Structure 1
């Protein structure tokens, strides 16, 4: 097997005689080290059953060698399935071979792999490529392939849907912007900024039926503190979600308090499915304590145990309380990572985000933020409980419009003297080669029309005597189209960053507004994180000063930036956050959640919902539309896509249309407990 590295179980080296298996959780083992186990020896990711599929030094009856062309699937090798690299240096999915003979070159191995055979296996799916039977996992090959068969089969696409989607969807667009149009020929510049701007394709109105279908699991807190108006609002929000899902989408509902239960299995949202889901929602009742971990474990069982899979999958977690059953320590010393099941954590191209909604002022914002960060989801804060439906709406507006998956941007230096120094990519993983001649960015999944901006800093050499233009970097992108499930490559001259090299540059040359705007956003994001850290250690005056200085810095930035609409929206956000870190009481009540939601939004460049009562909020946003009574920021203007905004507008119309939910509810004083006892609350209600 492949040489190099150590087994994560026994810590012994891999060599030619000891095979290396790479699990989905990215840990590597000798084949014999995972025989008979039911959890990953390194991270305790659960297996459905123990196994003895691997034998070491055994002498099985070997099947006759098969021709190479019939023994290999030619599928993509990634981290979504277990892989083995053989002694003869060939790499396979674990499912693609058994015995001790290489199916490619017929070389004999010293270790034997015996994959369990399923009696009467299910036939291959005849559905479109985005909908497949549950793909094999690392653990599924350590057991017989027995499906729970608890999820309803997915719906096949309408005739011609894929072709229609391919015809109507434009491709992802990449553009570059240099911080200055020209650099003097004799001058070398270090850390010269180039902005890479990527925008996902749209979903044309006539092609909405061809969008990628969704597997959605909602994980809902029904502890005692949800008693009364809270659970009424939650049920109304869930009815809205159900109404907006299509017949190709599947919804599963998990509720949790002291324990967790699957309220409804993954069910297609046909007319019958919607009626069933609404009955399940109406059955929800509040009581007990809060165990977030049990709720997410139950959701993991639902999604990991699927027999069929839609192209897009996600989880929405709502909680109004704090998990005291699984967290030890106090404040920031708590290990919030224990709340995230291993199969949800980000790994390679695999994406199963948990979007978390902190409901009210008593939820654990740090826990909800951590769960979202570890899974690639977003964290939203709903202080104004009456508009919780809008938070659900914004989230599903994005999930129902995913057009891009597994997006990866590649950067290569065009000029021999250019080097990439640094990439500002927020939460997106980036890699710069050791020599600085190439770099890459893992962008992942994008909603329709969603944008990403990344600052790449390069070293620009002095130009030669005859060099009028210096080519800096060339940018390309690969991704998977969710409708057609086809791989797409984006490249071309439009994605080449160049800078003019005159002998002398005019002193009044204007910098790029695109680059300066992104510089300000990145610095503001860093300041939000710094202010949050200061507030956590009790330095509230310092936290406020950090945010106030960034507001003042806008006036000293590039000319015209202060009047830019996006910067004005960010300025309003900084002003709002400054009021919520000024003292401990306000920070504990709303400030922590606001700052963490802002960090979630800006580091991922994705809209989150922060629904406040708006005491310090502006009366309108910089894009012209009136602000709702509950102020929403955290990227709602800069990052919200048309599909997300349309869904939120639909939610507001539903609430204002007499659904019984058109009231602004604000808790003025009182306390509550998870078992629903000793609740004393004074509220004011105002019709929206």
Structure 2
């Protein structure tokens, strides 16, 4: 900025007055409009930081999910950071969910710095932009299968194809997605292709659109043989973790209703159930050992959230829980996560 512009800039800042309102939609839409002028071939990331509740403009979380989902399809990732305990985590999480980015909670100044640094790390480590998964069933089945995407990811149907928006992926990240397919009858025994999966994404380094297609096969066997099969430990672990997220969602509702003890008890019960399930998994190879570690890590995190619900105020606890719920239900990898969420209220951002 040239020196002759500084006096005008200082005057403009002095003349600014707070209006006592927060219009998140206006700020977000303005940011999107600015990004459309850039036309970055490798995609863009919009980081929205807020410390207040939306009390003007659009206030329906569905609106924010729909707009950010459409923007993600145009290679604009939306991430959000909530500062302090006075912001609206429902709206910020909706933006991140639709926009394929992260939602982070910063309860202190140090956490705010860490959250912004984590976003910078994401930008530096990003290798794939706007990954999209397409699942197309074949005609091998006697009727159409029932398909359920277990993660909270934006998805829709394009004819007979299910389209799932996976978002951006990062170097060194191991992210899992679970799709449940309820199969109707298949006429013959043996190997059968039930669907094709196509993954489309932009390779950021090569600036090239990539498409990879692979079959989904099942081995059709008699009922007595199928009864003796053992479920894949990694898939089992991921399903258990996803099912545990519903407890976080219910606990958030309980916290907001002032039912702190009920929320903490629910989370403690969920953690105990995960540990029981973990004890049933025999460690026979690296995959089973990995699944065991995943379940135990989730149990540890839920126990920490239960302690937070007991020891911290409702606003802090619900926001910490929403951050965890957002990440785990969308299989987001996390960076720079605070190791100790139990903080003094005097340290909170206001």
Question: What range is the shorter-chain TM-score in?
Answer: 0.7 to 0.9
Which digits, 9 at most, give the CA deviation of each residue in 1:430-475, with x for residues without a partner?
A: 34689xx7544232433335424122222253664xx244444332
Of residues 422, 425, 428 in structure 1, which corresponds to 2:147? 422
2:34 paired with 1:302: yes
Q: Distance in 2 between matches of 1:395 and 1:595?
A: 20
Q: Which of residues 182, 189, 200 is equivalent to 1:458?
A: 182
1:488 matches 2:210: yes
* Cα gap change, 1:348 to 1:404, in 2 (>3 Å): closer
Unaligned 5+ residue runs, structure 1?
A: 1-263, 265-279, 328-333, 616-665, 674-688
The one-character-per-residue Cα deviations of 1:150-208 (angstroms, maximum 9, x if unpaired) are xxxxxxxxxxxxxxxxxxxxxxxxxxxxxxxxxxxxxxxxxxxxxxxxxxxxxxxxxxx
With the length of structure 1 as denominator, give the TM-score of the two structures: 0.41
1:559 aligns with 2:281: yes
Which of residues 448, 461, 472 is equivalent to 2:171?
A: 448
Residue 226 of structure 1: aligned partner: none
**Shift in CA distance, 532/607, structure 1 to aligned 2, threshold 3 Å:** same
Quote the offset at 1:512 in angstroms.
Answer: 0.7
Q: TM-score, normalised by structure 2?
A: 0.75
Query: Greater relative contact order (Cα 8 A, min sep 6): structure 1 or 2?
Result: 2
Residues 1:422 and 1:547: Cα distance change in structure 2 (over 3 Å):
farther
The residue that corresponds to 1:273 in the other structure is none
Q: Distance in 1 between matches of 2:348 and 2:112?
A: 20
Alignment partner for residue 529 of structure 1, among 227, 243, 249?
249
* Change beyond 3 A, Cα 1:531–1:413: farther
In structure 2, the partner of 1:477 is 199
Quick one: which of 314, 323, 329 aligns to 2:45? 314
How many Å separate the matches in 2 of 1:324 and 1:601? Answer: 23
Aligned CA distance change for structure 1 residues 295 and 507 (closer, same or farther; 3 Å): closer
- The equivalent position to 1:518 in structure 2, one of 238, 241, 258, is 238
Alpha-carbon distance in structure 2 between the residues aligned to 1:428 and 1:340: 14
Structure with more of its chain in helix, by fraction: 2
The secondary structure found in structure 2 opposite 1:491 is strand
Q: CA RMSD in A?
A: 4.0
Which protein is bigger by CA-based radius of gyration? 1
In structure 2, the partner of 1:133 is none
CA distance in 1, matches of 2:172, 2:302: 26
Counting only pairs closer than 5 Å after superposition, residues 479-628 of structure 1 correspond to structure 2 as: 479-492=201-214, 495-502=215-222, 504-505=224-225, 509-557=229-277, 558-560=280-282, 564-582=292-310, 586-588=313-315, 590-608=316-334, 610-611=337-338, 613-615=340-342
Following TM superposition, by how much is the alpha carbon of 1:411 offset from its aligned partner in structure 2, in angstroms?
2.9
Task: Report the CA distance between 1:309 and its aligned residue.
Answer: 2.9
Rounded to whole Å, the distance in 1 between the matches of 2:276 and 2:193 is: 31
Q: Which residue of 1 aligns with 2:4?
A: none
Task: Give 1:379 deviation, angstroms.
Answer: 1.3
- In 2, are the aligned partners of 1:384 and 1:613 still within 8 Å (CA)? no
Question: Contact conserved, 2:78 with 2:96, CA < 8 A, in 1?
Answer: yes
Is the alpha carbon distance of 1:595 and 1:567 closer, same or farther for their aligned partners in structure 2, counting shifts above 3 Å?
A: same
- CA 1:470/1:341 → structure 2, altered by over 3 Å: closer, same or farther? closer
- Give how far 1:523 is off: 0.2
Map 1:95-494 to 2 at 5 A: 288=18, 291=22, 293=24, 295-304=27-36, 306=37, 308-319=39-50, 321-323=51-53, 326=56, 335-337=59-61, 344=68, 346=70, 349-400=73-124, 401-413=126-138, 415-417=140-142, 419-431=144-156, 439-450=162-173, 451-461=175-185, 464=188, 467-492=189-214
3-state secondary structure, aligned to 1:564: helix
